Structure 1
């Protein structure tokens, strides 16, 4: 156990040192993922017509929560993995006594820590400009929200890493992710709260993985009424489905892999 912990610590420290070399780039990435802030302005203005159950304050709190969840659940593993396969850089990692996925996991987790100061600074600046939107979630809701964000990140990572397996057969696996992103954009709650969708759409979407990537953790943070047990069960269920598909594609893909040194 102690040896495993030392390895984990080494992995995380190495990738954290790598990430902080690009602090300016991290700030740009944080700003580049500020779409929820833009949508907050749009919906806050639209809510003044009185046609929504959400008021301006509700929209402000919802989209700042979405911004926070998005900062901790963003994933880019498919671009890294595709490059490794196409350029043959996966071969030396296959010689190591550890699954290559842990390099990507360590990189993502370390980036979260390096990104955190910029994220908190922007959130603090938001509440400085809009103090009436400030709220303090209850301890129970905060714990559930943190757990929801962690599982949402795991689900998003496994989904994208599964798409990345297609790089064994095509040089543009990222095209699959870009197509999938359209559904993620509209059904995850990033563009609009799912409460504003027709009831029929909500009934179908709640069994897909999309709402649990952003909307569900954000709702937990806000203390909104959601089915907590069902939400976590659906998230874990989808994690298992994608994990099984991922391992199957990984074994098939390795047999097909023909990179340099393979």
Structure 2
């Protein structure tokens, strides 16, 4: 299985290189945090807002942009098209489960996205050197795991939405709505600890925090040991829930897909 997945990953990487101009457009149009950075930094002035100074907002929103690029998944458009047009059928006959192919597609463009983020991080560090997070061996050693689990939650969530195409033709409209909810509830547009406490208490249980806010706050050193343990447990819990949901949706969707002769 590992060798087959490597082949899928290599093919997806070649596709990502072929469509690097499109990827550049996706990355630049996903830079909403930089707009929010300008707004919050102006509002903060020489003071603070909820414990965030001007440089803290730089660290937060540049960090949010980078983590979003590392954890985000953009395979739902391919999944919806392939199910709707019957293009999924050949992949169902292959020995490798189609979801492994979608996983390879989701991972393949990450190196390019990192390269595109590098100039932004460099410029931000020159403009606001105080925004660079202080090194912490324990915290930063846990960061790759937190980002990896955030990616897993995001990937499973997107697959669950994508497989609804077996039953419904308006999945992309649902995806647009979902992204609006994600942008607010994950901390992508506003730090969650600036929201009213009752709102934050609810968001702490939803999957959106596991996709972005937790690894971001871990990067910035805004979590104590208890919050870190809870954050990882929260991510793992949603991976189990979404994984089980995806398994059920996929099996029932494929049966319906096969029954109509796609």
2-structure distance, mates of 1:165, 1:97:
20
- In the other structure, the counterpart of 2:70 is 72
2-structure distance, mates of 1:225, 1:85:
42
- In the other structure, the counterpart of 2:256 is 256
- In the other structure, the counterpart of 1:22 is 19
1:164-179 equivalences in 2 (<5 Å)? 164-179=162-177
2-structure distance, mates of 1:128, 1:29:
25
1-structure distance, mates of 2:142, 2:239:
18
Q: Quote the offset at 1:143 in angstroms.
A: 2.1
Query: 1:165 touches 1:249 (CA, 8 Å); kept in 2?
Result: yes
| Paired residue secondary structure (2:112) | helix
| Paired residue secondary structure (1:174) | helix
- In the other structure, the counterpart of 2:231 is 231
**Pick from 201, 204, 210: which aligns with 2:202?**
204
| Paired residue secondary structure (1:224) | coil
Deviation per CA, 1:151-182: give whole Å up to 9, x if none. Answer: 11110110110111110111221222222222
- In the other structure, the counterpart of 1:97 is 95
Q: TM-score scaled by structure 2?
A: 0.92
- In the other structure, the counterpart of 1:188 is 186
**Pick from 8, 11, 34: which aligns with 2:8?**
11
Q: Quote the offset at 1:23 in angstroms.
A: 2.4
Query: 2:166 touches 2:257 (CA, 8 Å); kept in 1?
Result: yes
Matched, 1:34 2:22: no
Q: Quote the offset at 1:114 in angstroms.
A: 2.5
Deviation per CA, 1:196-230: give whole Å up to 9, x if none. Answer: 11111111211111112111111111111240111
Query: 2:4 touches 2:96 (CA, 8 Å); kept in 1?
Result: no
2-structure distance, mates of 1:191, 1:205:
14
Query: 1:158 touches 1:243 (CA, 8 Å); kept in 2?
Result: yes
Consecutive unaligned residues of structure 1, counting only runs of 5 or more, are none
1-structure distance, mates of 2:257, 2:160:
16
2-structure distance, mates of 1:51, 1:194:
13
2-structure distance, mates of 1:150, 1:88:
32
Q: 1:140 to 1:32 in 2, by over 3 A?
A: same
Q: Quote the offset at 1:258 in angstroms.
A: 5.0
Q: Quote the offset at 1:259 in angstroms.
A: 8.8
